[in-house]
Amino acid sequence: MPGKLSSRTRLSLAAFAAFTIWITWQAKSLEGGLGSESGTALVGREPPAFALETTDGRKISLNDYIGKKNLGLIFWASWCGPCRLELPIVKAFYEKARPMREDFEIFAISLDEFPDAAVGAAGSMRLPFPVLVKGQKVAEAYSVAVIPQMLIVDKSGKVKYGQTGFSAGLEMILAQNFGLDPKRFIRGPSDPSDH
């Protein structure tokens, strides 16, 4: 019979289907859903120190910023859908807030296995803040189990806020945590920054 599949082909298809379901489940378990403020057990504590390379080859050390700037640490990956929604919002905030004050910095810490994936994604989004690569060990030290995950570290070196998952109100959260007037980040239907 010409349309009948061999038992070997059926077994291969079943194995492929099982693998597809497993890999999709793994990716979804790492991608965050809707935002949650229970982002980390580190709130109120000092974050683990780290030094990573940026997409343009510079070395960034957390210790170089403690005591000088408030920090936003965003754990993400190029393949993470909610991360790809979040980073343009962070970019819009950064570009609007940076002229208002310079005592903060944002680091996007990539969990991509291959740095080229982070470089490509960051380049396509034209991210204006440092994008750090090879952040898997840092994510482990920070107990990141879901992405996107954001932490705010104040100038004193303590984590003051943590959030997992995507939040549409991210600009307001960043403004509040970086000491900016949140009202300046409310977007209306005729907001010129949307054009």
φ/ψ (deg, to 5) at 67: 85, -10
Asked, for residue 4, whether it belongs to a domain, the answer is no
Total domain count, the chain:
1
Q: What is the mean pLDDT of the chain?
A: 84
pLDDT in tens, 141-187: 999 989 999 999 999 999 999 998 888 789 999 999 999 988 888 76
What CATH number should be reported for the domain holding residue 65?
Answer: 3.40.30.10
Residues whose CB is less than 8 angstroms from the CB of residue 148 and which lie 6 or more positions away in sequence, other chains included:
32, 74, 75, 76, 80, 82, 83, 86, 164, 165, 166
Residue 67 lies in a domain: yes
In a domain, 3, yes or no: no
Beta strand 104-110 pairing with 59-61: unpaired
Task: Report the distance separating Cα 42 and Cα 78, nearest Å.
Answer: 25
Q: What is the pLDDT of residues 68-100, one digit of tens each?
A: 999 999 999 999 999 999 999 999 999 999 999
Instruction: Tell me whether residue 193 is in a domain.
Output: no
- Classify residue 45: in a domain, yes or no: yes
In a domain, 80, yes or no: yes
Residue 23: band (very low, low, confident or very high) from pLDDT cuts 50, 70, 90: low
In a domain, 148, yes or no: yes
Do you find a cis peptide bond into 48, omega within 30 degrees of 0?
no
What is the pLDDT confidence band of residue 189, given thresholds at 50, 70 and 90? low
